[in-house]
Amino acid sequence: MSKQTYRVCFCFQRRFRLAVSEAPEDIKKVFEQYSENGMMSIEGLQRFLVEFQKEDKATREDAQKIIDSVKHFHRKGLNLEAFFKYLFADINPPLASLGVHHDMSAPLSHYFIYTGHNSYLTGNQISSDCSDVPIINALKRGVRVIELDMWPNSSKDDVDVLHGGTLTTPVELLKCLRSIKEYAFVASDYPVILTLEDHLTPNLQAKVAEMVTQTFGDILFSPGSECLKEFPSPESLKKRIIISTKPPKEYLEAKEVKDKEDGSERGKASDEETWGNEVPNLKGSHVADYKNDLDEEDEENADDGDKSQHSLAPEYKNLITIRAAKRKGGFDEWLKVDPDNVRRLSISEQHLEKAALTHGKQIVRFTQPNILRVFPKTIRVDSSNYNPLNGWMHGAQMVAFNMQGHGRSLWLMHGMFKANGGCGYVKKPDFLLNSDELFDPKIKLPVKTTLKVTVYMGEGWYYDFHHTHFDAYSPPDFYTRVGIAGVPADSVMKKTKILEDDWLPCWNEEFEFPLTVPELALLRIEVHEYDMSEKDDFGGQTCLPISELRSGIRAVPLHCRKGVKYNSVKLLMRFEFI
């Protein structure tokens, strides 16, 4: 019999359900420690939960529920097989089930907020369709900031949402607003923020104000015309929708204003030459309009030297809770803190990288009362994303991501907002809110704690993947990558050995991760299948906020590239803080 034929036979003869024979030796030793005569009683299980799993508040009733949940076994205790089955079960997750447990009464600026970028796009930034479907999907996942780019429709009498100057097909603003109202609070009761990118005439701004007011009714929070000295809290805004945009432009009727605007348009045209080199495959007006994405669709840098005698859209202006600021001058000007006027500043990922080199502590100071939004650089036409940790460690609340994409950066975003009950708001660590001693992201700090991770084994691929998905003629060759995403000093990835020809890989490997800023750290976990001749195959991933990671032996569900949990694939791991 050839090796290939032997492997095929082996593949279909082997058992793929977990059996006690597959239990790692560590599991058997733990069972023996808390059991007598081959049975772990209710009292033994409770002691295991308190002492080994560090579940200090575990009761006899909790232990009994576990025993009851493991079907077809003795009601008064667990044998080794039942104990092993429990450890691998969904009722033994890696994150604590704490619900919303952060203080939600602080100003909005004290939270990281789950933020989308160009939330209406179904695919790439240039030619995909605009739709309310990605908005609905984002809200279902718990995203709390939805971005809408508003443009006049073709007949100039209504408002469309689209990525201006590209080939993206529009969707009606009203359709987006209605879907937002329907799905805003299916995943979380905490406020949904609409960041509106405005390319409208005053009469269409007034129409938007009417649409927004009529669609949302009582759930719309309207602060009035006064500037805010402090943002309201997420708790005070539960089940409310709030608007964030730049106040509408104000106009003089004098002819000299028009002359100045004409000069401004000529200045924009000259910018196209620079951008033609930076954005490949975009020409002419597409370059001019697509350039605006880097500059917040030209809203942030617009010249506002003329003061008006009247505002043409007061209804629209009065709806704005979080006012977007215009960027003038350099970083020092951008990051000035006005004690009487809080605001939102939007900058690109490149601007953040540059500012972080020389103004890191100033950024942290700015983000204590104000909101900083960071958005992807323009050349990410494929809707890819960037490392969100650079924004978070500088206190940026709105690290805006293309939620319709996938990849490691988005996995980190998913991981961060698993915290605090998945409500879309995560309270910033105290060190980012301390105004007396500003946090310096560039300084390497001493180690606060060390996370020890044991990767025992994995299961479920045989059920969630086609049997020839990884290799046509043999079982897969799995390995696990495990590491930390956090401040630069903490960020690292390690990997287990490759286990050949095994649908139930058992690695039994330990890794240690010293953490200087555990409050911002995420545990990264990926499984891949080794391929000698081609790129390794993907076998699942997850990211977990270390601030809510449970000690002990845990079943870790894995997700697909898009962040959807597999039905069966999971790892058995142990987490210890030493």
496-502: long-range pairs with CB below 8 Å, 24+? 496/455, 498/530, 501/7, 501/10, 501/474, 501/475, 501/476, 501/477, 502/475, 502/476, 502/477, 502/478
Known catalytic membership, residue 117: yes
Q: Which of 102, 110, 163, 286 is catalytic?
A: 163
CA dist 51 → 86, 283, 572 (Å): 17, 65, 19
CA 318, 324, 329, 335 torsion-angle sign: positive
Known catalytic membership, residue 467: no
Question: How far, in Å, CA of 289 to CA of 253, rounded?
Answer: 27
Tokens found for residue 427: 């309270």
Question: How far, in Å, CA of 80 to CA of 20, rounded?
Answer: 7
Question: How far, in Å, CA of 221 to CA of 241, rounded?
Answer: 6
Cβ–Cβ < 8 Å for 432, 395: yes
Question: How far, in Å, CA of 481 to CA of 502, rounded?
Answer: 17
Contacts of 259 (CB under 8 A, 6+ apart): none
- Give the position of tokens 């907020």: 113
Q: Where are the alpha helices (DSSP H) in 292-348?
A: 314-317, 331-334
- Strands 241-245 and 320-323, by their bridges, are parallel
Tell me the residue type at 191. Answer: P
Q: Which of 110, 117, 351, 414 is catalytic?
A: 117
Sequence length of the chain is 578
**How many H-runs (helices) and E-runs (strands) does the chain carry?**
16, 21
Q: Which residues are catalytic?
A: 117, 163
